Structure 1
C-alpha cells in the first residue's frame, strides 16, 4: 500500500481542536496537548503516517529531516501504549545521534505529558549510572543510539522481550555511520510480533533489505521533495547560525541585536513557540507582536496594522498564519525553525529583498539540521553562509559603533547649541576630553550598551569525514556486536560526530567533575536554568560548563574539576526554579 502527498484540510475545527489532527484518529488528550503546544495542522508525513500506525500496521516512510517525522510516530505510539499492557519497556526508538535522542526524548515527554508515559533517552558520552538507575525503576519508552542500546542489552539492563513497537528513525544515517550490524543485533532481541516503523530520508537497497527482513506487509509512504526552480530564491544575503537547542532563543536575540532590523518577520513551527519567542523579544525591549491561528480576526487585524505602520518592529508568525497576508517587504526574514521543505524556505525569504531592495535571511539551525541547509542550497542554487553566533565582544563592539554613529548624526545636524553652556561650565573643572567621554558613556548607557551578556557556546556543524581511516564507512563490515568480547569502539566514531571521542570511556572530559543537583524534569528544570544559575552564582563562563543531563528527579552538570567545590558552595546558597535543592559531587 502506497500513499501520496495530500493537501492539508481546510475544514472547520472539531471541538476546538485542529481539524487536521482530529481527523487522524487521535484521542482527546493528545489533541488537547497538541493544541496547547500550538500545533496548527499536520505535515504531510504526519497526515499519512498516523492512521496506519494507530491501526497497528508496520510502516516504511521516506521523508527528509525536518518534515515532522517525530510526531508522526510519537503520537500513535503514545496512544497505543496508553491503552496497552504495562510491561516495560513497551517501545524502543533507535536514532543515529545523541542530539536526536535528546530531541526525540523531549518531544515524547511533551506529547505524552497527560498520558503519564515515562520516557528515557540513552546515548553514548552520558554517565551510565543514571541510565542504569532509571532502567531498573522501569520506563515505558526507551530512545537510544544503537551503541548505547547494545551496551545495556549486553549488561542485561535493557530487556526487549515486552516491546510492542520499534521505530528506526533516520535509518539511512544509522547505516552511514556503520550501525547496520548493531541494528540487526538489536532487532533480534525484540518479539517477532512487534509493530515496526522505519523512517529514512533516502531508500537505498540496503534500507529496502532491512525493511524486507523486519517489516510485515508495511504501508509505504513517500513524501516527495518539492522541486524548486534554480534561481527561484530571492537575491538576499542568507546566513545560518548553528547552535544547540537550549540556546536558540539567546542566539536569535544576539543576532537581532547585531542586525538591528528595521522590520523583521520571524517564522516558528508552533503557536507555543510564537508566543514564547514574542515574550522573550519583548523582554529585550523589541517591539514584537505575535500572529498565529489561535488569534481572533480583530486581534490579527490589529497586529497587522501595527506592523505595516512601523509601530511593531518584529512580527513572529507560523507559516499557516502568514499565508495570504499582505505583508510588505521586510528588511529581515528569520527562520527560527527550519521549514519542512525548500519550497517553504523560498516562500518565507521571498518576503524580503523585493523591488530591488536589499534583504537578509537569517536561519537558526541545530547541529543535526546542517544537511538541510545543503539540500536547500542545491535546489535553489543560492549560497547560505554558515556563521558562528556573535560573541559578547562582537556585540559590545557593535554597540559602541552605534553610539558613535548616533553622536556623528547629532553633530552633523548641528542641534547642540542649547548644551554648549553645560560643556562650558564642566570645562572649568574637567578636561574637555573627559567631559566628552562622560557624555558618550551616558549616551551609550541610554542605548543599553552596558547590559550584561552571557557567552553562547559555539558549535561546529558535524559533517562525517569519510576520508579518516578510523571512520566506519557506509557498508563497512564491523565485528558482530553480539559475538562476545568488547565492541570495536576504536572503529566507531562518537555517536553524532564524524570522529572518535576525545573523552575517555565513561564520557567525562579530562580534568572535569560532575555536580549532582537534586531537581530534574519533574521540577521543570531545563539546561538553561542550570547553566544560568552556575554562570550567575559561581561566576563561570558558559564555555567552561560542559555536558548537562536532565533526568526525572535530578540533574548532572559537568564543570572544571578545579572549580567544582566553588560551584557546589555557590549553588548551595541559591535557589533554582524558586527552590532549595541538594547539591553535591557526583561519583560514577
Structure 2
C-alpha cells in the first residue's frame, strides 16, 4: 500500500494480508467514507444499518468484512454468507467484486438470479459455495426446492434494500430472513430509508450500528459533481426537445428514463429516426436481449440507453456521463437513484429532467428530498444549436491544424488559391467539414414555456404560493375508479390526490369522493379524464408500490 498518503489506508482497518494484496493489485489505496466507517463495525460482528448513495463504495464495505472471516480454501458445501440484491445485473457485479477481492482465499462465489439456467446454479450449490449473491425471487425458489441451505449462514447482506421493497420483494425477504439462523449478522444498505424499510430493519436487525454517508459535496467555489438541470417543455415537444438537448450536451453515453415500456419503445424508435444510436431496455425483453443491449452500450456501438426504472436497476456503466428523466419522476427517491448513476469515483456527471409546465411542485419536492438545487432553463433555440455545432466544427478543425498530416492536401489549396481568395477557400472547406459532421441546419423551433405559477391554463389567477383559488368542481358525469391499494398499504386520500394531480392535468378540486378500504380504494374523477387517470396511475408508483387501477365494476 502507499504509505506516503495523508488519508487512512485499508491496512489500518485490520484487513488480512490476502485482502490487502488484492486491493494493492487492483490499485485501491484509500477507503471511501462508507468503507472507513462500515468495515470495522462489520468485522466486529455488529449488525449494520447503512444509508449511502449509489457509487459510494458499498460493495467493498460489506464484501471485505465477509471475506475477512472466511476460512481460506474452505471445503464446506453450505454458504456462510448470503447477499440479496434487487437485480440480475447487480448480482453479477457484486459476485465479480467478491471474486476479485477473495481470489487469494479461494473464495467460491455464486450469483443466483432469474433468467439464467437453474440447473447450472443447482450444480454449483451441490458442489459447494462460500458466498451466494442472489435476487430474492430466485433465492426463495432455491430455498423452497431444498437446494439452497442457509443453516450455516453467518452473515446476511441486503444491498439496495429500498429497491427490493419497491420491486415487491418484501414478503420474499421476510421468508428468506426467517430461514437463516437467529444469531446471524445482518447488514442492510440503502440509498433511502422509507418507513417500510425501517420497520423491516427493526424486526430483523439486533441493536444495529447506524451510519449515513451523503454523496460527497463539491468544494466551495467549485462545480458540483453532478450538474442538475431541468428544462420546461410542453409534452408534445418532448421528443424534439430531447434531441436538441442531446445535440448541445453531446454525451459520451446516456440513460434516458421513461415511465412505461411503450414509451421506451416509441422514444427509441424516434431517436434512431433522428440519427442517434439508441437501444431500449425494459422488463418485456428477454435476458438475452438485455445482455446484447448492454454489450452494445459498453462497446460503444450504442451511446443512448432508453430504459424503465426496473430494467435499469443495478446497472453500473463506467462511461456513463448523462442521466435524462424524460418525465419528472413521481417518487423523489427514484430521482435520487437515477442521478446516483453518474458522478461516481470523482467523475463529473449531468442529470437532466424534462418537466412539463404543471410539474413545478413535483420538481420542488425532489429538490428538497435530494438536497440539491436543480437549475431550471429553457430549451436551447435553433440559434443555440447552430452555435454549438459551429463550436464543434471549430474544435475539430483546430485539432486537425495541430496535427501533422496536412501536407498531402497542400496542392489542393495552392491550386484553388490561383483562382479564389484564400479566405473563400477556407470558408468553403469549413462549410464542407461542418456539413459532413452532421451540422445541417435544424429549423424546428421549440415553444419556450415556463412553469404555471401565476395563471393555470385559463383557470383563473393563482392564490398564495402559486396555489389555485378554491372553486367547486363543475357539474358533469363522473367515473368511479378502483385502485388496488388501501389502508393495509398505508394509503391515505392525500396519496391518491397527489398521484392523480401529479400525473395528469387534473387539480385537487377536480377529484370527487374518495373511499379508503382495507385493501383497495375508490376515487371519483371527471368522466372525460378517466382513461388518462387510469393509464397514468398504472404507470406510476403510489407510496412506493404499483397498483391495479380500473373502472369500478359496482
Query: How would you bin the TM-score normalised by the shorter chain?
Result: 0.3 to 0.5
Query: TM-score scaled by structure 1?
Result: 0.44
Query: TM-score scaled by structure 2?
Result: 0.47
| Greater relative contact order (CA < 8 Å, ≥ 6 in sequence) | 1
